[in-house]
Each structure stands twice: as C-alpha cells, then as structure tokens.
Amino acid sequence: MSVIVNVIGLIVFVGIAVLLSQDRRAINKKIVGRLLVLNIFVGWFLTSFPIGREMIVAVADAFTAVISIAYEGVAFALPNWVNVPQMNFITAALLPLLMVVPMFDILNYVGIMPFVIKWIGRGLSLLTGAPKFESFFAVEMVVLGNPDVQAVSSPQLKQISTQRCLTVAIMSMSCVSAAMIGAYVQMMPAEFVLTAIPLNVVNALMFAHILHPVAVTPEEDDAVFAVKADEHKLPFFNFLGNSILGAGKLVFIVTCMVIAFVSLAKLINAGLALISPSLSLEAALGLVMFPFAWLLTPDTAEAFQLAQFMGTKLVTNEFVVMLQAQPMIETFSRHMQCVLTVFVTSFANLGTVGILLGTFSGIVDKAKNDLISRSVKYIIVSGILVSLMSAGIAGLFTR
C-alpha cells in the first residue's frame, strides 16, 4: 500500500508542475521522460543496488574521515569544546567548515572540480537531451551553492537569453554547497544526505523545464561556451587566506541565522499560546504540508511529524530542522529517516529567494532581473517540488 501511495505522490508532484507550467504545449516530453527515467535509476542504484550502496557508504566514510581531521584542528585551538561528552552544534557541525570549505576551494583552484563538473554536465546533457549550459549549471549548483554558482557563471548568465536566465534562476532554488555536506552528515544519516545530491540535480533540471520550458537551438547552446570567464587567479596563499576568512564568515552567518530563526519560532509559539495552548507554528505548518507528507509516508503519525519538519524547513532553513530532528532521528523508521533527510538536504527555503534576487540583480541586466523578480512563485514552487520529488524517489526504494 505504501509503495502505491508513493508512486501516486510522484505522479502528483509532476502533475502540479505541469498544471503550473507557463507553457504546457512547449514542454519537451522526451527530455522530461529521460530525466524521469534517470531519476528513478539513480534512486534505485544508490539505495538498493549493492554497488551503489557501497559507493554511498564509501563517500560517507570519506566525509567522516575529513571531519575527524577537521576536529583535530578545532581541538588544537579549543580543546575544551571538542573533548567533551557531547559537542555543541557550532563545534560539531560548523567549525569543521573552516577546513572543509578551503579544501573544496583548493580543488576548484587547481582545476579538479571544474574538470569533474564539465564531464558530469556533458554526460547529463548527452543522456537527457537537456541544454549543455543548464546541465553544467545543475552540477555546479551542488558543488558551489548560492551565490557562488551564479558568480562563477556570470559571463554565461549575461550572454544567454532572458528566458534561459529565468530557467537557471528556477533551478538555483535547489542548490546545496558541497562544503556544507560535511555539516549535514554530522546531524542526519549520511547515506541519505549523499543520495539527495544527484537526485536534486536531475529534479532541478526536470522541474525547471516543465515550469518554464525554453527551446534552445544547438547554435545557441554552443555559443554560450564561447564566452570565457576571467582566468586571472590570485596567488595561492592570498586565495587560501580569503577562502579561510570566507569559511569563518559562513560559520558566523549560519550561527546567527539558526539562533534568530529558532528564537523567532519560539516567540511566535509564545504568541499563539496566548490564543490557544494547542496552537503552534509547527502545527500550522504541519496542516499545510500534511497532504504532501502523506504522499511520502502514508503512516498518519509519521506524515504529520514529517509535515511539521517540512514546513519549518521552508520558512527557516535546513539547519533548524536538522537540529530539531537530530535527537530523535534514530527512533524514526528507515523510510521516515530517508524522506526527511532527502527533503531537507537543499537550500530551498524562503530566505534563499531573497539571496537569489539579490545575486541576479548584481549580475544580469534589468530585463532579466525584472523577469526573475516577477517569477518568484515559479522559483518557490520549483524548490518545493524538487525536494518532494527527490524524497519520493529515494523513499520509493527505502523501506
């Protein structure tokens, strides 16, 4: 029964996108069909096929090893923060970013990550028929995250048509920085965090094409890559210093956001309790998201709890939900652990919309920026549907 409900959920999520599409007749069914098949294959391969499972475990172990090394640096400076029975959120999840972020920046600096992105993006375009630039951008999103991915692709964003620029903006809602994965795997099941990444790539492409289909000729697609970015590089140690300082700012920003969002949620709950003791922000959000949560897990109790987490994530951020779920995650069923973890593994929340609008306004011309600003609803819908679809695909094969 639960499998049937999950399949119906996947159909509903795609159906919602089709109903809200700006031009249903322009949707390329062949591209969508290929992306859907690839989606199902990736979900099955990473959750059920032995080789795929071994790959996920190996990558999760690698992240764990990197984080363990990062803790040595933290312990050197702050031994009384690490050598304790239970590390706090900042120490356990955020301070390792002071090593993880520069590590990924170095991989970009020496050309390893651009090489990987190039060939995975090329393969994705070849398999699905999706435009090359959009395919490359989808892969870049999960390595760089907002707003870095737009900054790196700014020459191309200035070159492409206004309509294609909106497609990219719609996709951007599903970003997740590779450096942040190190923090996520400290709080949620690593196997499901890592499963979410490729699923988000495929789903971002698919829903962007459904919601805002744009025909791209081969000549247009190839012309984008004639635009070259500025190849000037800072001296390595200048670059490394900037990267470390940037990581420090990221730790500070996330800490401030978590404190602010959690405090504001408690303040809202205190105000609602004056009206009725049974009212809370989580309960209200749970009611709104319950139908979608039920399509992911038809157990009513689990679905309502999942719905509360989903709603909280959309109005705050993934860290707030991960902190709430971490103490109880082991008590959830394996299916619940899967769909919850995959859903929250992205930057899709209302705060990201503001970041996107600000980033694009500083890169593209007024016409492109105006179109993106008028199309905020598509950006929000895309982020929600990508998260739902990724969770549904992964949950379909996880029991």
pLDDT at 160: 85
Mean pLDDT (the chain, rounded) = 87
Alpha-carbon gap, residue 270 to 275, rounded angstroms: 9
The 10s digit of each residue's pLDDT in 275-321 is: 888 788 878 888 889 999 999 998 888 999 999 999 989 888 888 89
pLDDT at 334: 93
41-45, 122-126, 140-144, 358-362: range with highest mean pLDDT = 41-45
> Tokens 């619940």 identify what position?
336
Sign of the alpha-carbon dihedral angle for 204, 206, 208, 211: negative
Residue 20 Cα distances to 6, 17, 370, angstroms: 21, 5, 20
Alpha-carbon gap, residue 385 to 32, rounded angstroms: 14
At residue 231, φ and ψ (nearest 5 deg) are -85, 0
The token pair that represents 214 in the structure block: 């744009």
pLDDT at 392: 95
The 10s digit of each residue's pLDDT in 243-267 is: 899 888 888 888 888 888 888 888 9
Alpha-carbon gap, residue 324 to 143, rounded angstroms: 26
The 10s digit of each residue's pLDDT in 99-128 is: 888 888 888 888 887 888 888 888 888 888
pLDDT at 230: 54
Alpha-carbon gap, residue 366 to 194, rounded angstroms: 37
Alpha-carbon gap, residue 181 to 165, rounded angstroms: 27
pLDDT at 253: 84
The 10s digit of each residue's pLDDT in 67-89 is: 889 899 999 998 988 888 778 88
Mean of pLDDT values over 350-361 = 82
pLDDT at 210: 95
Alpha-carbon gap, residue 310 to 304, rounded angstroms: 10
pLDDT at 396: 92
Predicted confidence band at 9 (pLDDT cuts at 50, 70, 90)? very high
pLDDT at 226: 64
Alpha-carbon gap, residue 275 to 336, rounded angstroms: 32
| Residue 132 amino acid letter | K
Predicted confidence band at 231 (pLDDT cuts at 50, 70, 90)? low
pLDDT at 181: 83
Alpha-carbon gap, residue 121 to 143, rounded angstroms: 12
pTM: 0.87
pLDDT at 225: 66
Sign of the alpha-carbon dihedral angle for 281, 282, 284, 288: positive
Mean of pLDDT values over 175-199 = 86
Q: Lowest-confidence range among 24-28, 149-153, 173-177, 269-273?
A: 149-153
- Residue predicted with more confidence, 233 or 68: 68
